[in-house]
Structure 1
Amino acid sequence: MAIDENKQKALAAALGQIEKQFGKGSIMRLGEDRSMDVETISTGSLSLDIALGAGGLPMGRIVEIYGPESSGKTTLTLQVIAAAQREGKTCAFIDAEHALDPVYARKLGVDIDNLLCSQPDTGRTGA
């Protein structure tokens, strides 16, 4: 299905604006064959970094840590946040379980004064 030239130009301009505002790779055609080097940050666990296949968690992306209660989700997340903050990065924590303990976070090295936090009523609110 061919798109007329004016629509093609408008689409190219819109895609360019999205990439300009949100960064390269923020939007693309699924059929494009282009790979990107995504900056990662270590989880602090070599075996987990290897299992993830990228050497850690991707920077600048939304990452969901999922698992059963008391499996270490929050500790892992806070350790990665602390490491990212040491590199001068800004981090956000969506606390779907309403379980974030600022005292514990600080003990793990998180700069809680500069941590963005959302505690949505539902998962739909936090997305």
Structure 2
Amino acid sequence: MGALKHLTEDYATIDASFLQFCESRGILSVEDFLVHDVCMLVASAEQFSNSDRLKQGINQLLSIVETCHQPWVKGLVLLEDREQNKHCLSTGCKSFDVLLQGGLREGHVTELVGPSSSGKTQLCFQVASNVAMKLGSVVYIDSGNSFSPTRIKQIVSRISGSVETQVSGILQQAMRNIECHAVFDIYALLNVLHQLNSNLESQAGYKVRMIIIDSVASLIAPILGGSNAQGHALMSSVGYLLKKLADRHNIAVVVTNHMVSGEGGILKPALGESWKNIPHVRLQFSREHAANIYGVCILKHPYMASGRSANFMIP
């Protein structure tokens, strides 16, 4: 999904007149189309001399949306894919990896939730450094201008335990394997994810082991509120894309989310019930009293009991 103008080359019915018809109604993307009443659009199209052509374009968009649904797959095929292609990527924190039986799994969207200074970003730096050093490419999407090459250097130096000349080479390799994108709104995020999916589909040999979004809440929260259907549709599009990238390309996706005050003042993850169903794994972080000691608790996991917890340290 994406901007309608990108569909003109592949679909003849989505032409300049159809784009003009959509733009006059504030429809610039497939996401915009999803939040409009299709019956009302058809009724509007019937007022034009080229109504049949416009209605063909509407039906074409409906077909495109329909093809986004995954076909049915036999359970045995899913099991074989899980065992053969979906590996665990070590975070480099032993107790964290033990809790998750190996680390962050490819094919999963893992959400790190917690209040400010609870270790979410530090864990992102830690796992990005470990994967980039040992396994391959990491796409780091930074929404708060908080990505720190200096912190990555510290972590790489500590993990490698090598002499200074060797650290320099290892650091250069790690930094080459981290592709950082600064994004500051939901539309920029969708553009990066669409481009990433296009590169993975079209470029032979292009492989990404992990995607990190720190933080997804700061990009999505501004478009939500009340009964904002368009905002929720855009949020669903982000969730769909992340799951698609994770599953189809065997990528471990990590997103961070903050906490908000819920009923009775009790803190809960932001973005509401609709977003709650998107991550496969949800981990809650907390800061212990000791310096650099963090706590992590499993809130949701496909095959692990909720409530299991551990402490971990990131020097």
Structure 2 partner of 1:72: 119
2:71 corresponds to 1:32: no
Residues 50/112 of structure 1: CA separation in 2 closer, same or farther (3 Å cut)? same
CA distance in 1, matches of 2:109, 2:181: 13
CA distance in 2, matches of 1:56, 1:76: 12
CA distance in 1, matches of 2:111, 2:188: 15
Aligned 8 A contact 2:89 2:131 in 1: yes
2:93 corresponds to 1:45: yes
Aligned 8 A contact 1:65 1:77 in 2: no
SS at match of 2:117: coil
Give the letter for the 1:104 counterpart: R
Alpha-carbon deviation of 1:61? Answer: 6.0
Unaligned runs of 5+ residues in structure 2 are 1-69, 157-170, 190-237, 239-315
Residues 57/72 of structure 1: CA separation in 2 closer, same or farther (3 Å cut)? same
Moved more, 107-116 or 75-84: 107-116
Alpha-carbon deviation of 1:56? Answer: 0.5
CA distance in 1, matches of 2:109, 2:140: 10
In proportion to residue count, which structure has more helix? 2
SS at match of 1:83: helix
SS at match of 2:113: coil
In proportion to residue count, which structure has more strand? 2
Structure 1 partner of 2:286: none
Structure 1 partner of 2:182: 119
Alpha-carbon deviation of 1:123? Answer: 4.1
Give the letter for the 2:185 counterpart: T
Residues 125/56 of structure 1: CA separation in 2 closer, same or farther (3 Å cut)? same
SS at match of 1:104: helix
Larger Rg: 2
Aligned 8 A contact 1:95 1:119 in 2: yes
SS at match of 2:92: coil
Moved more, 115-124 or 43-52: 43-52
Structure 2 partner of 1:55: 102
CA distance in 2, matches of 1:87, 1:28: 35
| Aligned sequence identity (%) | 26
Moved more, 38-47 or 61-70: 61-70
CA distance in 1, matches of 2:74, 2:119: 37
Moved more, 84-93 or 43-52: 43-52
SS at match of 1:103: helix
2:154 corresponds to 1:101: no
Alpha-carbon deviation of 1:99? Answer: 0.9
SS at match of 1:75: helix
Could you tell me the TM-score, scaled by structure 1's length?
0.61
Unaligned runs of 5+ residues in structure 1 are 1-26
After TM superposition, what 4+ stretches of structure 1 lie above 3 angstroms from structure 2? 59-66
